[in-house]
Amino acid sequence: MMDYIQIFNAAPDVEASAPGRVNLLGEHTDYNDGFVLPTAIPQHTTVAIGRSPNDRHHFYSANLEEQVDIGPSESTPTGFARYVDGCIRVLEQSGHKIPPLNIFVNSSVPIGSGLSSSAALEVATLRGLRSLLNLNLDDVKIAQLGQQAEIQYAGVSCGILDQMASSLADTEHMLFLDTRTLDRKILPFPEGAEIVVIDSGVARSLASSGYNQRRAECEEAARQFGVKALRDVSNPQVTDSLPDPIRKRARHVITENNRVLKVLDGISAETFGELMNASHASLRDDYEVSVPALDQLVDILQNTPGVFGARLTGAGFGGACVALVRLGEGKTIAQKGLTQYNQLGHKGLILVG
Ligand code: ADP
Ligand code: MG
């Protein structure tokens, strides 16, 4: 594995890192101005930054073994460099002067698995730039700039969840976030619990078309209720007047927001697990973003002793499952669950546990 000195023939000036994340509750709520509850995972992205010896930026990813060089006034690059260059450009847009830089990227966050390697890359880059250039940016501002970089330069119309989680969460706590107001609360993990994340091995092939369709259905439901977003509705019974599938979509968002809010009361691991199970049922039956493999994996986990609850995490249509399990048993439970899942003919992968 290469390091900064081997690539750039000098030592870096600063290093910074930021974690990946997994969302524990509050799925498909962020674009409805709702509530989410992510936590950071142990895997993180590290950047090392120094000044470039010439007038070009030089970005290197150790994961991709790829280098991209960009001169002043050249257009935005493609591939991973969009994220790094995007961070520099959003800072320039807000008036900061950024000198030509060498940036070395290395990450233990699985890339493209839904654990938000993209936000980890943005937040790590922005943290590195903050310390190199003494920029006056707080952690919320870093998250917002990272989101802007992803929207404007990577072309992903994402919410603020990923960047807020990477910038503000740690692995010992859950981050309660109101995505409308950005009000937040750092909450302790339910006592005696830890998390397991397993990738289903099913690619999220329909994810973007399904995602856009769900978004449109939610907007339609909000329009029919005469509210700005579904977050403004708290009683799921009012959805009875809507036609399907809008009715079911709205019911998922409303009940899901209510589940996240319950966590603020300070609940036990058992209760938290029940909320996760209910979340999965709602994502499967009302929001219809699960697939058979995810249901099987969740079912296996929910029936494994020591598991408080399990659900699909991320947009669905494939991707990963998260489970809350008894503290100290994550490794064993993950391996047990994966073995059973593999016996059904699937190829899963333990991401956390
Ligand atoms: P996720 O954020 O769930 O991992 P995304 O599709 O949002 O998936 O982001 C993945 C993209 O982020 C990669 O295709 C790559 O362009 C970029 N990326 C993230 N981490 C790295 C890294 N360590 N090295 C290079 N590119 C990275
Ligand atoms: Mg991402």
Cα-Cα-Cα-Cα dihedral sign, residues 209, 212, 214, 216 = negative
Residues 46-66: b if buried by 16+ CB within 10 A, e if exposed: bbbbbebeeeebbbbbbbeee
Q: What is the per-residue pLDDT for 113?
A: 87
With CA atoms as reference, report the closest residue to 260 among 175, 165, 318. Answer: 175
Domain count, the chain: 2
Q: Is 114 in the pocket of ligand 1 (CB under 6 A)?
A: yes
> Is residue 174 located within the same domain as residue 319?
no
State how far the alpha carbon of 208 is from the alpha carbons of 141, 205, 253, 289, 334, in Å.
Answer: 27, 8, 18, 11, 28
Catalytic residues: 162
- Which ligand sits closest to the CA of 122? 1
The secondary structure of the chain, three-state, reads CCCHHHHHCCCCCEEEEEEEEEEEECCCCHHHCCEEEEEEEEEEEEEEEEECCCCCEEEEECCCCEEEEECCCCCCCCCCHHHHHHHHHHHHHCCCCCCCEEEEEEECCCCCCCCCHHHHHHHHHHHHHHHHHCCCCCHHHHHHHHHHHHHHHCCCCCCCHHHHHHHHCCCCEEEEEECCCCCEEEEECCCCEEEEEEECCCCCCCHHHHHHHHHHHHHHHHHHHCCCCHHHCCCHHHHHHCCCCHHHHHHHHHHHHHHHHHHCCCCCHHHHHHHHHHHHHHHHHCCCCCCHHHHHHHHHHHCCCCEEEEEEECCCCCCEEEEEEECCCHHHHHHHHHHHHHHCCCCCEEEEC
- Both tokens assigned to 52: 């470039």
Q: Of 138, 154, 184, which marks where a domain is finished? A: 184
Taking CA atoms only, the protein residue closest to ligand 1 atom 2 is 116
Ligand 2 (ion): residues with CB under 5 Å are 116, 118
Q: Which residues contact 104 (CB under 8 A, 6 or more apart)?
A: 3, 4, 7, 8, 12, 47, 48, 49, 60, 62
User: 147 alpha carbon to ligand 2 midpoint, in Å?
Assistant: 10
My answer on whether 313 and 260 are in the same domain is yes
Q: Judge if the beta carbon of residue 121 lies within 6 A of ligand 1.
A: yes
Which amino acid would we find at residue 244? D
Residue 138 structural domain? 4-184
Tokens of 42: 């142990």
Considering only CA atoms, which residue is closest to atom 23 of ligand 1?
Answer: 107
The CATH number given to whatever domain includes residue 310 is 3.30.70.890
Residues 263 and 347 in one domain: yes
| Domain endpoint, select from 162, 184, 206 | 184
Residue 199 CA to ligand 2 centre (angstroms): 15
Are 52 and 173 contained in the same domain?
A: yes
Structure tokens given for 290: 């699960």
104 and 215 in a single domain? The answer is no
State both tokens at 167.
Answer: 């910038």
Same domain, 157 and 200: no
Looking at 184, 200, 235, which one is the last position of a domain? 184
Look at strands 101-107 and 57-61 and give their pairing: parallel
Q: Are residues 121 and 157 in the same domain?
A: yes
The whole-number pLDDT of residue 304 equals: 98
* Ligand 1 neighbourhood includes 105 CB (under 6 angstroms): yes
Same domain membership, residue 149 and residue 17: yes
Q: Are residues 118 and 222 in the same domain?
A: no
Whole-number Å distance between alpha carbons of 148 and 145:
5
Ranges of the chain whose pLDDT falls below 50: none
Read off the CATH number of the domain in which 55 is found.
3.30.230.10
Q: Are residues 121 and 208 in the same domain?
A: no
Residues 224 and 308 in one domain: yes
- Tell me, yes or no, whether 152 and 222 share the same domain: no
